[in-house]
């Protein structure tokens, strides 16, 4: 693509779309990332990796590092509460040639945030800045961070955190416009995204309450952010990156994309595991259709490929005469 047409840059790296698939643990795997990229997502975040587990060489963490060439730019996202672990893990990850290393300061899971990792780093902006400074000085690729607005409603320190991230060398900041306490509940504060955009000079990605194509324009207009990160609204709806309203997509096309997604999953995983993982997406793919309850249940509990394909045909989501 022509670099002049880039939506924004991370350091010198051009990103050619202002719509970005969020890193969702258990959702944003390589097959789904590639699918969303084909619809228009601008770059691929590999969901958060635990620095200590990477350093221990745990197979599950190492398996997550795989990405397709068409996913670039690719962002590896790390979390930990230990600066040395993050430094060592980031340098190890750099050998796999991602385009960006991102530090997760947004995860609200209690087991992670309560020990000072993820959103727990928001309670110590100086430490957050120190981590960014160290990685920015040690790595040859850009460093970024994903944050929330604060630990809770009484500690909304997002401007202080954003300044610390920029001043210590980060090239990008993504903002989930809720506190750690809110998790995914309540209304996202788009005013806070706008305030961060006014405060820093690096690109800002806004995230939160983008549920439709209409919301994309509303958030961009309201906040002035450089790009928009889409999470749950993308599950079963890669068309949002087109951007194209889900209601405008005919059943036949939905079926074709389900088949494409399934085939990609089968190339990436063993059959049984692929089918189980696809269910998280399938329940959202079929959500707009009024399927009979028994058919819906069979479709979402199919355990082998012939059964799944037969149920997709019964639902009008696959070719009724395959191979003809």
Residues 243-252: tens digit of each pLDDT: 999 999 999 9
On whether both 89 and 236 belong to a single domain, the answer is yes
Domain presence at residue 282 = yes
pLDDT score of 233: 97
Domain presence at residue 49 = yes
Out of 209, 244, 279, a domain closes at 244
On whether both 68 and 26 belong to a single domain, the answer is yes
Domain presence at residue 216 = yes
Q: How many domains does the chain have?
A: 2
Mean pLDDT per 10-residue run, the chain (324 residues)?
78 97 94 97 94 87 84 96 97 96 96 94 97 98 98 95 98 97 94 98 98 97 98 97 95 97 96 96 96 97 97 88 44
Active site residues: 107
On whether both 226 and 258 belong to a single domain, the answer is no
pLDDT score of 74: 97
On whether both 162 and 219 belong to a single domain, the answer is yes
Please enumerate in sequence order all residues whose Cβ is within 8 A of that of 209, keeping only pairs 6 or more positions apart, or say none. 177, 187, 188, 190, 215, 219
pLDDT score of 2: 47
On whether both 67 and 98 belong to a single domain, the answer is yes
Which pLDDT tens digit goes with each residue over 221-239? 999 999 999 999 999 999 9
- In whole angstroms, give the CA distance from residue 254 to residue 270: 24
| Residue 208, CA distances (Å) to 177, 181, 193, 219, 233 in order | 6, 15, 10, 9, 10
On whether both 239 and 304 belong to a single domain, the answer is no
Domain that holds residue 145: 3-244
On whether both 44 and 166 belong to a single domain, the answer is yes
On whether both 136 and 279 belong to a single domain, the answer is no
Domain presence at residue 66 = yes
- In whole angstroms, give the CA distance from residue 8 to residue 309: 41
């Amino acid at each position: 693509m022509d670099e002049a047409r880039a939506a924004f840059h991370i350091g010198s790296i051009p990103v050619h779309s202002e719509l970005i698939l969020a890193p969702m643990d258990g959702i944003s795997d390589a097959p789904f990332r590639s699918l969303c990229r084909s619809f228009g997502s601008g770059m691929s975040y590999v969901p958060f990796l635990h620095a200590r587990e990477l350093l221990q060489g745990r197979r599950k963490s190492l398996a997550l590092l795989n990405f397709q060439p068409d996913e670039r730019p690719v962002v590896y996202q790390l979390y930990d509460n230990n600066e040395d672990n993050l430094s060592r893990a980031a340098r190890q990850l750099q050998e796999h040639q991602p385009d960006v290393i991102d530090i997760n300061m947004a995860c609200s899971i209690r087991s992670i945030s309560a020990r000072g990792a993820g959103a727990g780093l928001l309670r110590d902006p100086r430490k957050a800045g120190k981590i960014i400074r160290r990685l920015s000085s040690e790595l040859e690729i850009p460093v970024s961070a994903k944050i929330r607005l604060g630990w809770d409603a009484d500690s909304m320190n997002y401007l202080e955190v954003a300044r610390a991230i920029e001043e210590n060398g980060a090239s990008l900041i993504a903002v989930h416009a809720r506190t750690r306490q809110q998790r995914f509940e309540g209304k996202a504060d788009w005013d806070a995204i706008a305030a961060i955009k006014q405060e820093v000079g690096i690109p800002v990605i806004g995230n939160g309450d983008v549920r439709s194509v209409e919301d994309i324009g509303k958030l961009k207009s309201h906040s002035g952010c450089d790009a928009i990160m889409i999470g749950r609204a993308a599950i079963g709806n890669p068309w949002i990156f087109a951007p194209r309203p889900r209601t405008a997509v005919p059943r036949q096309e939905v079926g074709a994309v389900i088949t494409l997604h399934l085939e990609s999953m089968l190339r990436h995983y063993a059959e049984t595991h692929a089918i189980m993982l696809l269910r998280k997406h399938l329940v959202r793919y079929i959500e707009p259709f009024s399927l009979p309850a028994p058919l819906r249940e069979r479709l979402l509990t199919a355990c082998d490929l012939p059964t799944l394909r037969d149920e997709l045909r019964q639902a009008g989501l696959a070719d009724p005469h395959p191979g003809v």
